[in-house]
């Protein structure tokens, strides 16, 4: 058999074993016949080391593979190699157990971490169903945010900080002294990509920035300092320095786009409300002084990705 085929099928078998671990299942050495097996699923396909590998167990593993992988295994020689790899996986696991690897603290930690992630993922699926958005709701949003659905372009600058108190102090100072915007951006902004340029983001149209930022920026008159704008990156103070009006897109052209935006926002709000409720119920308190003592390993700080959604 060509080497490439062996490698591919070995990887498929590895994927099967990983899925077993993720789902808390057992290997073919101990698993009962698959519940979803077709009639005759208990028929023995292979024996090894005093064990039986049944047709149902093989079908169960095949069902876990994506469609293209199952199609790839339809050839008899590939299907045989898949079964051999299932057996080898068990034999290698036995070898590892004999050497005590199944009790390795690092493996235990990884298994526990994986179990926790999978449980959290399953819980989160409960909150992933967005509400329906009506045409009337979409039109109301369109009317309130027409600049977001046009060829209009603006040039804007911003100052990004980590906390709302600092942002509010900046708004107060800049409304009294708007000419200091560039200097304060260079001094205070945590967006290192734009701070050196006085916070200048350049000229951009709708769809280039995160939605919460855009809604404020495109509604802001030239030369006016915004209120504090919160996004997933922190707290922004925005100044629009130039505006080029463009042609308005008709509602029907952007209706589905607006509905998707509103659904995503409602979904985010739904999840955030649940998170907030969980923290309130758990009476979460963080000692800021102790938190400040934690020193992170040195690394290159990622730049805030304001562009794109």
Q: What is the CATH number of the domain that holds 194?
A: 3.10.50.40
Do 72 and 9 fall within a single domain?
yes
Distance CA 213, CA 211 (A): 5
- What is the Cα 27 distance to its own chain's centre? 31
224 contact partners, CB below 8 Å, separation of at least 6:
239, 240
Express each pLDDT in 109-151 by its tens digit. 999 999 999 999 999 998 888 889 999 999 999 999 888 899 9
Domains contained in the chain, number: 3
Do 217 and 262 fall within a single domain?
no
Distance CA 218, CA 240 (A): 8
Neighbours of 301 (CB within 10 A): 8
Q: What is the pLDDT along the chain (309 residues), one digit of tens a residue?
A: 444 444 444 445 444 444 444 444 444 444 333 334 444 568 999 999 999 999 999 999 999 999 999 999 999 999 999 999 999 999 999 999 999 999 999 999 999 999 999 999 999 998 888 889 999 999 999 999 888 899 999 999 999 999 999 999 999 999 999 999 999 999 999 999 999 999 999 999 998 999 899 999 999 999 999 999 999 999 999 999 999 999 999 999 999 999 999 999 899 888 999 999 999 999 999 999 999 999 888 766 555 556 554
Do 10 and 100 fall within a single domain?
yes
Distance CA 291, CA 246 (A): 48
Residue 276 lies in a domain: yes
Neighbours of 177 (CB within 10 A): 11
Do 20 and 81 fall within a single domain?
yes
Helix (H) / strand (E) element for 243: namely: strand 234-244
Tokens of 170: 């900046």
Residue 10 lies in a domain: yes
158 CB burial (10 A radius; 0-12, 13-18, 19+): buried
3-state secondary structure of 305: coil
* Domain hosting residue 29, numbered range: 3-126
Half-sphere exposure of 182 (CA within 13 A, CB side): 8
Nearest-10 Cα torsion for 24, 29, 35, 41: 160
Residue 138 lies in a domain: no
Helix (H) / strand (E) element for 153: namely: strand 153-161
Do 183 and 198 fall within a single domain?
yes
Residue 307 lies in a domain: no
Closest C-alpha to 301, from 187, 190, 186, 209 = 190
């Amino acid at each position: 058999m060509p080497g490439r085929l062996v490698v591919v099928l070995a990887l498929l078998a590895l994927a099967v074993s990983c899925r077993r671990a993720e789902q808390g299942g057992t290997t073919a050495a101990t698993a009962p016949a698959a519940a979803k097996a077709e009639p005759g699923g208990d028929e023995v396909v292979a024996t090894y080391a005093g064990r039986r590998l049944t047709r149902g167990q093989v079908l169960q593993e095949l069902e876990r593979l994506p469609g293209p992988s199952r199609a790839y295994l339809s050839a008899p020689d590939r299907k045989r190699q898949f079964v051999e790899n299932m057996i080898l996986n068990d034999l290698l696991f036995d070898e590892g157990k004999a050497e005590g690897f199944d009790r390795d603290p690092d493996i235990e930690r990884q298994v526990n971490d994986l179990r926790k992630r999978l449980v959290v993922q399953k819980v989160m699926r409960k909150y992933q169903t967005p509400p329906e958005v009506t045409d009337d709701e979409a039109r109301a949003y369109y009317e309130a945010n027409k600049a977001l659905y046009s060829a209009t372009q603006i040039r804007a600058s911003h100052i990004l900080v980590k906390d709302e108190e600092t942002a509010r102090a900046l708004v107060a100072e800049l409304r009294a002294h708007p000419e200091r915007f560039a200097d304060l951006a260079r001094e205070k902004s945590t967006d290192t990509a734009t701070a050196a340029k006085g916070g200048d983001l350049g000229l951009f149209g709708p769809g280039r920035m995160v939605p919460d930022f855009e809604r404020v920026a495109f509604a802001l008159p030239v030369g006016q300092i915004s209120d504090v704008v919160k996004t997933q990156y922190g707290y922004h103070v925005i100044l629009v320095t130039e505006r080029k009006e463009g042609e308005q897109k008709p509602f029907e052209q952007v209706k589905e786009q607006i509905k998707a935006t509103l659904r995503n926002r409602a979904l985010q709000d739904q999840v955030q409300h649940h998170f907030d409720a969980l923290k309130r119920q758990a009476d979460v308190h963080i000692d800021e002084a102790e938190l400040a003592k934690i020193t992170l390993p040195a690394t290159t700080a990622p730049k805030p990705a304001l562009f794109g959604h």
